[in-house]
Structure 1
Amino acid sequence: MPRGVAIPDLRQQLFSATERVIARDGPGGLTGRAVTREAGVATGGLYTHFADMDDFLAAYAVDRAFQVSSAAAALPGRAGTGTVAANLSGAVAAVPPATLPALARLMAARPDLAGRVHAILGDRTAGLEAIEQAAAAYLEAEQRLGRIGAAADPEALALALVGALHHLVLTGAAEPAVHARIERVAAVLTAASTTAEQRP
């Protein structure tokens, strides 16, 4: 790229490069040089827009946490349609495939970023927390409709689901496997909650 030529959507180009670096080298491989090399831009391009690497990673975390929150926000509105398991796994599928693994791994390595995300987006918005909150609200709505048992605990079910998702994304499961296994976990959890209520 010639010097002085503006790069459209440079921030998003750098954020996408960040996800590729995390996928390949882990969060420990994140340096300004690694990200800009992956993005195919001059190292100075990052520091034109961000004060330092911490500022850049905070901006990345906020941007991607907002994407995850936006995808999850539609979940409660699906109550009463489709199947419960498909709706829960669909909320995961709505997030760009590289985002959840990269964001989860970065937040695990840099827990201080959660505070910066919360300060800008509000509580329970730092990635998987947003999915947990939306899943709990969705399951409560399904419970009111009678599609899961009255004795079920929506918050505990949401936590179990997100715990499974966290395990899958941190252990590098492929995207199709994540969606299939999350739908299976959701089906088992919701079926178990209904079955338990029906026991004498």
Structure 2
Amino acid sequence: MPRGIAIPQLRQQLFAAAEQVVLRDGPARLSGRAVTVEAGVAAGLLYAHFTDLDDFLTAYAVDRAFTVSAAAAALPERAGRATVAANLADALLTIPRPALTALAKLLILRPDLVPRVHAVLGEETAGLDAVERSVAAYLAAEQRLGRVPQAADLASLALAAVAVLHHLVLTEADADRLNAAVAALLPSAAERRLRTVH
């Protein structure tokens, strides 16, 4: 690319390139050079916009964590429609899978990025933490409507649902397994309530 020509949406181009490197080669192969080669831009361009690779990875993680949390934010609005299991599974599946997969893999390798993401987005509003809160809020709304048992442990169900999502993303499993796992979680809450009553 000739010098001096602006590249529209450069940050997103570099973020998309980083995502492709992580998904194809793994996060250990992520370097400034790998990103710029994947993006098809000059080698020094990344460092013209970011202080260093850590600054770039922090910005990438913040961007993708925001994307993941925003996708789950509307989940509580589904309360009272369809079935609880279907709503929950559908909402989890609307989260952009490449973004979540790459972000999860990167944060496993680079846990030092987590507090940096939290510093920008907040302790409970970033990535899977935000998804867990949205799931718990949704289940609470359904509980108020009588569609989830009063005795259900909503925090544990939310954590379990997000853990299933995280596992399936990291193992690249299909959506059917998520649907089945979410459906299995919710009856277990009802069964615990029945055992408590009797």
Range of TM-score over shorter length: over 0.9
> What pairs up with 1:126-145 in 2 under 5 angstroms?
126-145=126-145
Name which of 172, 181, 184 aligns with 2:180: 184
Q: Deviations over 1:25-78 (max 9, x none)?
A: 111000000011111111111111100000000000100111111111111111
The CA deviation at 1:168 is 1.4
Identity of aligned residues (%): 61
- The aligned runs of 1:71-82 (5 Å cut-off) are 71-82=71-82
Question: How far off is 1:94 after superposition?
Answer: 2.1
Matches within 5 A, 1:98-177: 98-173=98-173, 177=174
What is the count of residue pairs matched by the alignment? 196
Structure 1 stretches of 4+ with a deviation exceeding 3 A read none
Where does residue 89 of structure 2 map in the other structure?
89
Which residue in the other structure is 1:38 paired with? 38
**Equivalents in 2 of 1:135, 1:188: separation in Å?**
16
Identify the range of structure 1 (129-138 vs 49-58) with the bigger mean alpha-carbon deviation.
129-138
Report if the CA contact (8 A) 2:157-2:185 is conserved: yes
Q: Distance in 2 between matches of 1:123 and 1:54?
A: 20
Mean alpha-carbon deviation: is it higher for 187-196 or for 96-105? 187-196
> For residue 23 of structure 2, what is the amino acid of its counterpart?
A
Q: Structure 2: which 5+ residue stretches go unaligned? A: none
Secondary structure of the residue aligned to 1:80 is coil
1:153-175 alpha-carbon deviations (Å, 9 max, x no partner): 010001111111111112233xx
Q: Which residue of 2 aligns with 1:8?
A: 8
Ranges in structure 1 where 5+ consecutive residues have no aligned partner: none
> Counterpart amino acid of 1:196?
R
Q: Is the 8 A contact 1:143 1:150 kept in 2?
A: yes
SS of residue paired to 1:151: coil
- What's 2:190 paired with? 194
